[in-house]
Amino acid sequence: MQTAHTFRLPYKIHFSRCDPAGIIFYPQYFILFNDLVESWIDAILPGGYHGLVGERRIGMPTVHIESDFRAISRFGEQVWLELEVTRLGNRSITLAWRCVGTDDVVRISAVQTLVTTSLDTHKSIALPDDLRTAIG
């Protein structure tokens, strides 16, 4: 069962994500995981990510990221994109994320810290109460 602390989605590696060798071009993982964060917020927060960013003008920029590329992902493969909340701060969220093949081989793992900000002032703000509650 998925909770607000863990989230997992299947994903098929598309041609548009790959380099001429037929493997995912490594910066594409960061786009996939940004999409995963958006899907996660959509799943746990009324109004979703669009409501948070577009309507409430609360940003969630990345302030730190570390990654380990462990194995390649090939065009056409099915993988799992996963995130887990490892730290919930006053103004930030730290996530651990992974891309795992159906063979259970981890392709990439990363740790990312997001900070909540006002999109009007671009300064950090407290994590919204409804988001904190949704995460638990």
Encode pLDDT of 37-47 as tens digits: 999 999 999 99
pLDDT at 136 over 90: no
The enclosing H or E element of 68 equals strand 62-69
Domain that holds residue 124: 6-135
CATH of the domain at 119: 3.10.129.10
Q: How confident is the model at residue 1 (pLDDT cuts 50, 70, 90)?
A: very low
**Residues near 59 by Cβ (< 8 Å), separated by ≥ 6?**
53, 116, 117, 118, 119, 122
Q: Are 127 and 93 in contact (CB under 8 A)?
A: yes
Cβ neighbours for 108, distance < 8 A, ≥ 6 positions apart: 26, 29, 67, 68, 69, 70, 98, 99
- Residue 60 placed within a domain: yes
| pLDDT band at residue 3 using 50, 70 and 90 as cut-offs | low
- Distance from chain centroid for Cα 49: 12
Instruction: Determine, yes or no, domain membership for 58.
Output: yes
Residue length, the chain?
A: 136
Number of structural domains the chain divides into = 1
The per-residue pLDDT for range 90-111, each reduced to its tens digit, is: 999 999 999 999 999 999 999 9
Q: How many CA atoms within 13 Å lie on the side-chain side of 84?
A: 7
The answer to the question of residue 1 being in a domain is no
Is residue 108 situated within a structural domain? yes
Whether the full predicted model's pTM is greater than 0.95, yes or no, is: no
